[in-house]
Structure 1
Amino acid sequence: MIVQRSFNATDAGSNSGAGTLYLVGTPIGNLEDMTFRAIRILKEVDMIAAEDTRQTRKLLNHFEISTRIVSYHEHNKEASGPELVRLLASGQSIALVSDAGLPAISDPGADLVAAAAENGIAVVPIPGANAALSALIISGLPTEKFLFTGFPPRERKSLTAWLQHLHRQDATLICYESPHRIIKTLAVMLEQLGDRKMAMVRELTKRHEEAARGTISECMAWLEENPPLGEYCLVIAGVSKEEAAQLQQDDPVWWSGLELEEHVSRYEEQGEDRKEAIKRTALDRGLQKRDVYNEVMKK
C-alpha cells in the first residue's frame, strides 16, 4: 500500500526527490472561475500538460503565464504519458489541465494520475469549477446521492443497454451530451426510464447560462421550440421508491446482482426497519433469517 500525505500547504512538492503532478481546475465558461491558487501553480510548475494546447494557451496568455506547455490527450497518451511520468520521477513538477473544468474526469488525465500514483509520485488536486456538480446543485433534484455517468453511448442499442443498467439506480443521474445527439438521447431515456424529472443545463458560468427543468417529455418539447445550442449537462432523477417497489414485483430476481448487505439496505431505503428488511431478504433468497442476520451484523 502506498500512502500519500501532503506536508506543505504551500505546494512545495514531496520530499522524495520526485516532482508533483498537480490537477488544476480551469474555467468552465467564465474566466473568473479561475482560482488564485490555480494561477500560482501554473506559474510555478516546470511545465503544463494540456488537452488542447491552443485552448490552454489562450487561458495562459490572459493570466500572463509563460510556463512551457506540452500536449497530452487521448490520441497521444500512450507515448506522452510515460514521458511525463519519467519527468515527474526525475523531479520536475507538472500541472495537468483539461479544456474546461477539472482534469481526469471523463478524459485521459485519469490514466496519467494512475501511472503517477503507481510510481509513488505525489498527486495534488487544485480544485476549481466542475460542470457536473454545478449542474447538480442548481437542478432542484436530490443531491445527497448522485452518480456521474460521463457521456451516453452513441448507438441506440448500446444506449438502451446503458440505460437499462441505470434504471434501478435511486441516485440522481448526471451525464454530458452534445447538442447534436441530445434529442435522440432524451427519446431513449423517456422510453427506458419513464417520464422522470430532470434538468438540462448548458452554458454554465457563461452569460447565457440556462437551466430547463421539468420532466423528460417537457424538456423534449422545450428543445422543439428552442433548438439545442452548446454542450449540455443532464441531471435526471433516480428511481422513486414507488417505482422501485413495482420493479421488484415485476422482476422476482431484482436482487440477483446485489450483495447481502445491499439487499437488506434496499428494503431499508423503502422504509422497512432492519428486522423486517432482514426477514424479507431471507425470504427472497430462500435463506434462514438468522443466517442473513448473522452475516449482515458481522459487518
Structure 2
Amino acid sequence: MSEQTLYIVATPIGNLDDITPRALEVLAKVDVIAAEDTRHSQKLLSHFNIRTPLVPVHDHNERQQAEGIVQRLAEGKSVALISDAGTPLISDPGYHLVREVRQAGFRVSPLPGPCAVVTALCAAGLPTDRFVFEGFLPAKAQARIQTLQFLSKEPRTVVFYESPHRILATLEAMVEVLGSERQLVMAREITKTFETFLQGTLPEVLDLVRNDPNQQKGEIVLMLQGAPAAAGDDLDAAAEQTMRTLMDVLPISQAAATAAKLTGLNRKVLYQWALSQQSIDGSA
C-alpha cells in the first residue's frame, strides 16, 4: 500500500462476505476513510473490527472536503473513499474529489469489487455486450417522461437505478412511453436475503410490482431491452458483421434467430435484412 494515494474502495451491496481481502487491508491501513454516510459506514467497519477514522464526503460537501483530502495527501497520508454500498462514483459522490486529487498530482488507485449495475446485468438474460447505464431517472414526472422519450430508440440494453417510493411511477411511465412489447428485468435486493428478479414485458412487470407491496421495497435495478430496429432500417456495423458471420455457416432463419439473441434486435428485422442482402448479392 502506498502513501499519498487515494484508494477507491468498493464495498458490499448487501452480503458482507462479498468484501475483498484487499479492501479490508486498505481500509484498515489508510490514515482516514472518506465515507458518504459515516454512521452507515461505521457499521461496516465495526463488523470487520476496523478502527480507521472517518470523514464525511457527500453531495453537499464534496467540493469543500476535497481540499482537505488533498492536503492530507500532501502531508504524506493515504485516504480511502467508500460509498454507502457498491463502487464509489457510480451514482454516488466522488467525481469532484477524484478530479481534484488527480489535478493535484496524487495517485488514485481503484480496488475492484461489488457494483449493482454489473451484478444485476450479468443475471438478467438481456444482451450484455453493449449497454447504457442511466443512473436514476428524474424525480419529476415530466422530466422522467422526457428522458424515457429520449431513450426510446436506444438499441442497447438500458440500465437504471430506482428508489422504492418511485418504482410504480417509473414503471407506469415506461409503459406510457415505450409501449407493451419491450422486455424488462427488475432486480431487487441483490445479494440480500430477499433477492428477486422479475422478468416480462413492461406491463407484466408493472402488474407484478403493483400487486405485491414487497416488490416496492429495497434497492432496485431496472434493465430495459434495447429498442428493436424498425423494419427496413440499416443495421449498425456490429449487428451487420454478426449477421454476415452467421450467414456464412447457417441458414438465414437460424442466423437471424441467433443474431437476435446476441444483439437484442428483432429477429424479423434481421431476417428481412438478410433477405435483402441475398437479393443484392444475387443481382450483383
TM bin (shorter chain): 0.7 to 0.9
Letter in structure 1 aligned against 2:2? A
Per-residue CA distance 1:204-230 (angstroms, 9 max, x = gap): 101111101111110001012211111
- For 1:170 and 1:267, locate their aligned partners in 2 and report how far apart those are by CA, in whole Å: 13
Question: What amino acid sits opposite 2:227 in the alignment?
Answer: V
2:189 to 173, 183, 203: 203
Cα shift at 1:235: 0.6
Letter in 2 for 1:140: G
Find 2:141's aligned residue among 153, 156, 166.
156
- The Cα of 1:78 is off from its aligned counterpart by 2.4
Q: Give the distance between the partners of 1:223 and 1:144, measured in 2 at CA.
A: 28
1:23 and 2:8 are equivalent in the alignment: yes
Partners in 2 of 1:175 and 1:202 — Cα distance?
A: 12
Deviations 1:107-126 (A, max 9, x none): 22121111111222111111
Q: 1:36 aligns with which of 5, 21, 29?
A: 21
Give 1:193 shift: 2.0
Residue 189 (structure 1) aligned to one of 166, 169, 174: 174
Q: Distance in 1 between matches of 2:78 and 2:38?
A: 18
Q: Deviations over 1:63-92 (max 9, x none)?
A: 111111111111111211111122123321
Amino acid at match of 1:269: A
**Corresponding residue of 1:12:** 2
1:67 aligns with 2:55: no
Q: Which residue number corresponds to residue 262 of structure 2?
A: none
How far apart are the structure 2 equivalents of 1:118 and 1:216?
A: 45
Q: Does 1:83 align with 2:68?
A: yes
Two-structure CA RMSD over aligned residues (Å)? 1.8
What amino acid sits opposite 2:143 in the alignment?
S
Question: Which residues in structure 2 correspond to 1:106-125 (within 5 Å)?
Answer: 106-125=91-110
Alignment of 1:214-253 (within 5 A): 214-227=200-213, 228-241=216-229, 243=230, 245=231
For structure 1, which runs of at least 5 residues remain unmatched after alignment?
1-10, 14-18, 249-263, 274-299
Q: Distance in 2 between matches of 1:113 and 1:174?
A: 24
Aligned-pair distance for 1:265?
Answer: 7.2
CA contact (8 A) 2:164 2:219 kept: yes
The answer to whether the 8 A contact 2:32-2:55 is kept is yes
1:252 alignment partner in structure 2? none
> Offset at 1:93?
0.6
Kindly indicate whether the alpha-carbon contact (under 8 Å) linking 1:104 and 1:113 is maintained by their aligned counterparts in 2: no
Contact 1:50-1:98 within 8 A present in 2 as well: yes
1:43–1:156 CA distance, 2 compared to 1 (3 A): same
State the alpha-carbon separation in 2 of the partners of residues 150 and 111 from structure 1: 18
| Aligned-partner residue type, residue 189 of structure 2 | E
For 2:269, the equivalent position in structure 1 comes to none
Q: Cα 1:46–1:265, aligned 2, differ >3 Å: closer, same or farther?
A: farther
Q: CA deviation at 1:175?
A: 0.6
* Alignment: residue pair count: 240
Q: Compute the displacement of 1:194 (Å).
A: 2.5
Q: What is the aligned partner in structure 1 of residue 280 from structure 2?
A: none
Specify the code of the residue in structure 2 equivalent to 1:236. L
2:239 matched to 1:266? Answer: no
Residue of structure 1 in register with 2:255 after alignment? none
How far 1:269 sits from its partner (Å)? Answer: 3.3
Normalising by structure 2, we get a TM-score of 0.80
2-structure distance, mates of 1:267, 1:145: 13
Q: Which residue of 29, 32, 37 maps to 1:52? A: 37
Paired residues of 2:164 and 2:217 also in contact (CA < 8 A): yes
Q: CA deviation at 1:266?
A: 2.9
- Over residues 136-176 of structure 1, what are the superposed CA-to-partner deviations in whole Å (9 max), with x where a residue is unaligned? 01111011001110000011211111112211211111011
Post-superposition offset of 1:102: 0.5
What is aligned with 1:296?
none
Counterpart secondary structure, 1:200: strand
**Aligned-partner Cα distance in 1 for 2:191–2:92:** 21
CA contact (8 A) 2:63 2:97 kept: no
User: Could you tell me which amino acid in structure 2 is paired with residue 117 of structure 1?
Assistant: R
Structure 1 residue corresponding to 2:120, chosen from 135, 140, 163:
135
SS in 2 for 1:128: coil
Deviations 1:10-48 (A, max 9, x none): x335xxxxx100000111001101110000000111100
**Runs of at least 4 residues of structure 1 off by over 2 A?**
264-273
Instruction: Give identity over the alignment, percent.
Output: 43
